[in-house]
Amino acid sequence: MLKIPGKQYGGLYFTNLWTPDFVYTMMTILYVRLILPKMCIGFPPNAYQVIRLYKHNMADRQEFNTSLEEYLSDAPNQREIQRTQRQLYRLPVTLPDGVKITLSPGGQNTLIKTIVEKFCEYFIPGGEVLYIGDADAKYESLNHERLKELGVTLNLHGKLPDLVVYQPTKNWLFLLEAVSTHGPVDTTRYAELSRLFSQSTAGLVYVSCFPNRETMRKFLPELAWETEAWVASDPTHLIHLNGSRFLGPYN
């Protein structure tokens, strides 16, 4: 087995030297069950049959093709394996209505999970999550139909907030930004969101969400008036930035 790649690519593989290339190659063909993980590498019966029948200049390939089809029908596809592995590292999130979804790990999604499960529980009871911004599948969790009922037709080229939640009992539409390193609702962002949701029949509530007070302090001077600030480390508290009312729309 080791002589073939050496001959093909003009190199040399040593049986007692586990180079990164060799390990990667062996792991790849191990995943698709072309070899068996034994101390002495062996072949599964269906894979061995394919290898045994293979010849570079076969006049009749029928038997080989039949054997190959049988092997491929049973062997796991490499993309399927990667997709399965990717699913294992998804971040589980429970929506206010009890529906469970997953988000890609990392980035803002850990904070977004906390916003959905904590902020919504305390401040948007009965809320409907109409959009969650996941970098892996940006528009997968976008409820176009419900937003249209509220008069909102989103321009997908515009920068959507990280989270959009509707509270039917008050007819309020919460636009929430998850802020770890950038992106609070400052005066510029406030104007952008106001234009993006200008046709909404529900009142707009703007919220900047931070993981902790230390992060919030960095952005306090930038936060727009008549918005809310929330800290995940103190989930039952809310900070209101001036205005004539506490937690509610101004339009």
H/E element, 194: helix 187-196
Report which of 231, 232, 229, 224 is spatially closest to residue 247, judged by C-alpha positions. Answer: 229
Helix ranges (H only) for 15-160 are 20-31, 45-53, 62-74, 78-88, 109-114, 120-123, 144-149
What is the mean pLDDT of the segment spanning 96-102?
Answer: 86
CA distance 27 to 216: 46
**Owner of token pair 């068996």:** 36
User: CA 55 from chain center: how many Å?
Assistant: 45
User: Worst-scoring range by mean pLDDT, 30-44, 46-60, 224-238?
Assistant: 30-44
pLDDT of residue 183: 85
pLDDT mean over 210-237: 95
With 80 as the cut, is the pLDDT of residue 82 above it?
A: no
3: enclosing H helix or E strand: helix 3-9
Strand boundaries in 118-202, DSSP class E: 128-132, 163-167, 172-178
Q: How high does pLDDT run on average in the chain?
A: 79
Relative orientation angle of helices 78-88 and 20-31, to the nearest 10 degrees: 100
The residues that bridge with 207 in the sheet, in sequence order, are 176, 228
Q: Residue 94 and residue 55: Cα distance in Å, rounded? A: 55
What pLDDT shows up at residue 42?
55
Where is pLDDT greater, at 223 or 181? 223
pLDDT band at 189 (very low <50, low <70, confident <90, very high): very high
Neighbour count for residue 63 (Cβ, 10 Å):
11
Q: List % helix, strand, coil for the chain (3-state, nearest 5).
A: 35, 20, 45
**pLDDT in the model for residue 8:** 57
Closest CA to 241 of 219, 230, 226: 226
Where does the pLDDT of residue 32 fall: very low under 50, low under 70, confident under 90, or very high at 90 and above? low
Q: Determine the average pLDDT of the residues in 135-158.
A: 78
